[in-house]
Amino acid sequence: MIKDKKNIKAEIEKIREDLHRHNYYYYEKNESLISDVEYDKLLKKLEELEAGNPEYKSKNSPTVVVGGGLKDSKFTKVTHKKPMLSLSNTYNLGDLEDFDKRVKRILNKDSIENENTQVDYILELKLDGISISIHYEDGRLIQAVTRGDGKVGEDVTENIMQISSIPKYLKKNVSIEVRGEIVLPLTEFESLNKKRLESGKEIFANPRNAAGGTLRQKDAVIVGQRNLDAYIYYLADSEELGFETHIESIKYLEYLGFKTTKIYDLCETIEYLGTRIEYWEKERNNLDYETDGLVIKVNNLSLYDELGATTKAPRWAISYKFPAKQVTTKLLDVTWQVGRTGKITPVAELEAVEVSGSMVRRASLHNYDEVLRKDIKIGDTVFIEKAAEIIPQVIKPVKELRDGTEKEIVPPTNCPVCNSILEKEEGLVNLKCMNPHCRAKLQGKMEYFISRDAMNIIGGAKIVEKFIELGFLKEISDFYELHLKKDELEKLDNLGSKSIEKLLSSIEESKKIDYSKTLYALGIPFVGKFLGGLLSRESKNIENLAVMEVEELLSIDGVGEKVAQSVYGYFRDEDNMRILKKLKDAGVNFEIEEVDERAHLEEFVGKTFLATGKLIHFKRQKSGRTRECKSSH
C-alpha cells in the first residue's frame, strides 16, 4: 500500500510538471506541445488523482491555477481587479446535461424535485485566440491586460491600440471593464504565412499562435501591420450596471461600439442546445476565424453569485469543445506513394489517433522539400490536422520533445513500385517516376478516370487494382470493353452478377457524361474541373481542341502558359490520340450539345404578359421601352 501511494504521488508530480511545462509554452511562447484534447485529458486525470488522494493536493497545481506564470514577461505585470477564470470543458452532450442538473441542484438546494425549474442558457462561439481585459474611464480606453495566470496579466495597451476593431473611445462616457478575444482572421493568417515563407522565416502553426506572437511584440508597428481583430463577449459588473441578462449586456456592448460575433443563441432546453451545437459544428467552417467550441452561459445574471465559482472556473458557464482539428501523435515511419502523374509523395505512417471524429494512421507530407523545410524526422511527435476536414496532413514537429533517437527522412532514388530511377523536373520540387508503364501510375489514372467528379463509374480502388492484376485493364479505354468479358467477370470471387450488372450499367451511363467532365477525366496535366469546363465551352468538341495551337489556347481567358503547353502536348502524343479514338468509337461524349434557344421562344409568340410590382431605375411611362430596363443587381 505504501509503495502504491509513492507511485501515485510520483504520477501526480509528473503530470503537474508536464502540465506546467505545457502552460508555459502555450501562454508565454504561444506554442502548443500537445493538442487541447490531450491537455484536457491530462488535466482530468490529475483532477481524479488529486480527488482520490487529497493529501497530495497543492495550491500551485494546474487544477487550481489558470494559465502561465509570466516567467519571461517583457511587459509590465498587472493584477486583475476580478480574476479572469477559465472554463470547465466537455466534449459530449451528456456532460452538458449533467451541467444543467448541477446548476438546478445548486439553485434548488431544498428540493431535488425542483430540478425541472426553467433555466435559460446562452450559446456563444468559443474563439480560439488570446483573452484580453480592456478598461475604459469616462469612455476612453486606458489599459488592456492579457489573461496571464488569471490573477496577473501583462499590460499590452500600446499594442491593443493598433487593432482597428477595438474602439479607443466609446459612444457613452462610461467607466467599464470588458473582456474578449484577440484573433487573427484566417485570410490574414494565410497572407502572413505566405509572406513569412517567401522571406525564409518559420511559418506560424495556427492563427492562435500567430495572434499571441503578434500581441507580445515589443514593436507596436508590427502589430498594426498584421491586422488582428477583436471580439468582445463579456461586460464585467453587468448586474451592477442595471442589466438583468447576459444578452442585454452584449447588446449594450454593441451599442457602445464593440465588435461581437453577433452569435448568442437563447436555449431554453438542453435538447435545443444540442441542435444548435450540431449546427455550429458544420457552420464554423464558413467563419473567417478559428473557433474550437461553444460557450454555454446561464442568461440570468442574478443567478451568478448564487452559483458561484471554483478556484479556477465559474459554475454558471461551461465550454463544449468541437472534435480536435489538430492533435499530436508519433511519426513511426515514412513510405513513398506514386501518383497517377508519377509524382512521388512522402506519406507519414502514424501512431493511430482520432482527428475530427475519425481514426488517422497515415497523413500527407506533401513533398521532400516540405519535409526539409519543416525539419520533420522519423520518431518525432508531430501535429496533424485534416485539411478541409478531409485529408490528414502533418503540420509541424514538436522539436522540444526530441530525445535524440529521431532519424532523418531520406528520399528514395528509385520508384518504390517499378524501380525506375526517379527524376526531378526542372523548376519543380517533386520527384517523379518517368516510366509510362509504371503500375502505380496506371492505377492512379484509372481511379481518377472513374471518380465521381469525372466519369462517375461504380468501382473504386480495389476493383481497379484487381482488374489491372487480371489484365482486364491496361488503359482507360479498356473500361468500355469490359462488357465483352462479362462471363469471366461473373466467375470472380466477391463479385456477383448484380455487382457486375451495376458496374457495366454505370460504364454505359458514363458515355452520356458532359464533355467538360470527360475532358477532366482524361487527366491532362493542370486541367482540373474549372479548366475542363472552360476548355469544353471554348472548343465545343474534342476535334477542335486537338488542333488548337499554343497561341490559340493562350488567347482563352483563364489559360496560362503551363496549361496551354500541357494541352497542346497531350494532343501531340500518338498514344493519347489512339486511346481517344477508342473512347470515341465506344460512344463516349466529346462535344457540347448545342441548344437552339430560338425554339424555346416560339411558345411566347403572339402572347401578352402583365408584370406587377415596383419598377427600378426607370419610370412607369417608359416601361414599354425594354431597351431602357436595367438590372437592379
The answer to whether the Cα torsion of 456, 461, 462, 464 is positive or negative is positive
Percent of the residues in the chain that have a pLDDT greater than 70, as a whole number: 88
Give domain status of residue 560, yes or no. yes
- Count how many domains the chain has: 4
CATH number at residue 537: 1.10.150.20
Tens of pLDDT, residues 386-401:
755 567 889 889 888 8
Q: Please identify every residue annotated as catalytic.
A: 126
Of the candidates 422, 346, 345, 356, the one whose C-alpha atom is nearest the C-alpha of residue 384 is 356
Domain that holds residue 188: 89-321
Tens of pLDDT, residues 325-367:
778 899 999 999 998 889 999 999 999 988 766 788 999 898 8
Give domain status of residue 600, yes or no. no
Same-domain check for residues 490 and 408: no
| Residue range 560-583: mean pLDDT, rounded | 94
Give the amino acid at 265.
D
Give domain status of residue 84, yes or no. no
Q: How far is CA 445 from CA 338, 455, 574, in A?
A: 11, 12, 18
What is the structure's pLDDT at 71? 52
Domain boundary among 263, 290, 321: 321
Same-domain check for residues 268 and 138: yes
Within 29-81, residue ranges assigned H as helices are 36-52
Same-domain check for residues 93 and 189: yes
Tens of pLDDT, residues 6-21:
788 888 888 888 888 8
Answer yes or no: is pLDDT of 139 > 70.
yes
Of the candidates 230, 216, 228, 226, the one whose C-alpha atom is nearest the C-alpha of residue 184 is 228
Give domain status of residue 6, yes or no. yes
Q: Please provide the DSSP assignment of 442-496 as one string.
A: HHHHHHHHHSTTTT--S--HHHHHHHHHTTS-SSGGGGGGGGGGHHHHHTSTT--
Give domain status of residue 41, yes or no. yes
Q: What share of the chain is helix, strand, coil (3-state, %, to 5)?
A: 40, 20, 40
Domain boundary among 373, 404, 433: 433
Same-domain check for residues 457 and 548: yes
74 and 29 in contact (C-beta within 8 Å)?
no
Domain boundary among 15, 37, 72: 72
List, in order, residues 6 or more apart from 351 with CB less than 8 Å away: 329, 330, 332
Give domain status of residue 248, yes or no. yes
Report the chain's mean pLDDT, rounded to a whole number. Answer: 85
What is the structure's pLDDT at 620? 42
Same-domain check for residues 64 and 156: no
CATH number at residue 36: 1.10.287.610
CATH number at residue 422: 2.40.50.140
For residues 466-503, one letter each, b for 16 or more C-beta atoms within 10 angstroms of the residue's C-beta and e for the rest, the string is bbbeeebbeebbbbbebeebeeebeeeeeeeeebbeeb
Same-domain check for residues 33 and 119: no
Give domain status of residue 166, yes or no. yes
Tens of pLDDT, residues 407-443:
999 999 999 999 999 998 766 678 899 998 899 999 9
Same-domain check for residues 382 and 512: no
Give domain status of residue 183, yes or no. yes
Answer yes or no: is pLDDT of 1 > 60.
no
